Structure 1
Amino acid sequence: MTPVPDSPYARALGERIDELHPRLRAYFSAVPDGAVGIGEGVFHVVGTPRRWLWPVLRVLERRRVVAGVWERDVPFRVENRTIASRAIGERTFRFTRGPWVMRDAVALTRHGRVLDELGEPGLIAACFDVDVRDGALHLTSRAVGVRLGRLRIRVPRLIAPVVRLTERFDDAIDRQQVALTIDAPLLGRVYEYRGDFEYRVPHIAEVPRTAEKEQSA
């Protein structure tokens, strides 16, 4: 049997992965071949209440990066796979106006940090420091870049947004919790989502094929 390669998160953390809550260790480990990680839950908030930002965000929305909305209690589904040692994620948000899909791919940099490429085709990239505190995983961006054609241009630090992601497990409700924030210099909070979900890793043959297949939404 071919061994499953470590996920980029596991390689970035090294021995510190044992400090994660056991349910988070399963989430941030590699998904075996022939399986898919599935999370289903609700985002309590998604987007930004600053409506003047929505036209800008909707440009990114069309590229599967972020959505130009401000909604509460949004059902969502995440599907995780490990492909060529990268963590590939697809999140379907069920907004009131219809489903929308966000895509990303996470790899390990030569400096031992995680690089998350968001959208199509990797339009935005953020490089993160990885930390574990009280059993939770914390990611904080060190650099953000934008793809222009074949070029990757780093956003100058003085104007670069800061992305923070926290994943923890709440034993009291037996659900995983996630919170992401994006803060820009001078503007403050420009985007966020937070919610909770249940997660499992079934064999792909056990996952019903739905007629909806909302990737194209």
Structure 2
Amino acid sequence: MTRSPYELSIGAEVLARLHPRLRTYFGPIPPGHVGRGAGAFTVVGTPRRWLWPVLALFARDAVMFPVWERDVPFTVENRPVTVRRGRTGGRDGRPTAGREAHPAVRAHRTFHFRTGDRTMVDAITAEPAGLVDHLGRHGRVSARLAVTVDTDGPDAGALRLASTRVSFHGLGREWSLPAVVSPRVTLTERFDDEADRQRVSLVLSAPVVGTLYRYEGAFRYAIGPDPERG
């Protein structure tokens, strides 16, 4: 991958405002390499147990999990891939034939819960509509993302992603949710110079109901050779 999905979808002047350490995270991953990070989330999930049966359905496809835990160690691996427009295709976001291909970064985030390890899978793609995040092993849920970068204040250089459209894939077509009922995903990535760590916060919310799911924490990240690719 010579350019990352972020570079392909976002103006150079916007990316130039990123914290220098975040440019590594959102920049290209060279062929034969992988981006790896390790850290801990202060919270993961939701204390609203009535939502857990719904989250359990999403857990089957490695999207979200029915938990509410604190101080959860985690690792992340980012790899450059090619996915098909509208869904990630096969298992673990790998491409399938018959659809237009788009450059992407596939992420595996492994949460080390007290009850055992669980891995969240998603693939960020550069598409004509902009950045799209295909969630889960089979990409059945997609979120179109708008991007902003803070220019001043305590979070200067932070990148924020907010969903502008959420859709589901099934029965051979894509189904978009009306804005009045659609859940909203907000992701913030910033670099903490004092702690020398990248900080991440994700919130999934819905109209009227409020916060449905969230995680936030900090980690260190670097790009190195990928043993899986020889």
TM-score normalized by structure 1? Answer: 0.90
> Letter of the aligned partner of 1:196 in structure 2?
A
Which of 133, 141, 144 aligns to 1:124? It is: 141
What is aligned with 1:201? Answer: 223
Other structure's SS at 1:57 match: helix
Provide the aligned C-alpha RMSD in A: 1.1
Output the CA distance in 1 between the equivalents of 2:177 and 2:69. Answer: 28
Shift of 1:12: 2.1
% of aligned pairs identical? 45
Shift of 1:152: 1.4
Q: Which runs of 5+ in 2 are unaligned?
A: 83-102, 151-155
Q: Which runs of 5+ in 1 are unaligned?
A: 208-217
1:95 is the counterpart of 2:113: yes
CA deviation vs aligned residue, 1:25-74 (integer Å, no higher than 9, x gap) = 00001111111000100011000000000011011011111111100001
Other structure's SS at 2:224 match: coil
Give 1:1-217 correspondences, 5 Å limit. 4-15=1-12, 16-84=14-82, 85-111=103-129, 113-133=130-150, 134-205=156-227
Output the CA distance in 2 between the equivalents of 1:33 and 1:43. Answer: 29
TM-score normalized by structure 2? Answer: 0.85
Moved more, 38-47 or 5-14: 5-14
Output the CA distance in 2 between the equivalents of 1:135 and 1:24. Answer: 8
Q: How many residues align?
A: 202
Shift of 1:168: 0.2
Shift of 1:149: 3.4
Shift of 1:150: 2.1
Output the CA distance in 2 between the equivalents of 1:97 and 1:53. Answer: 18
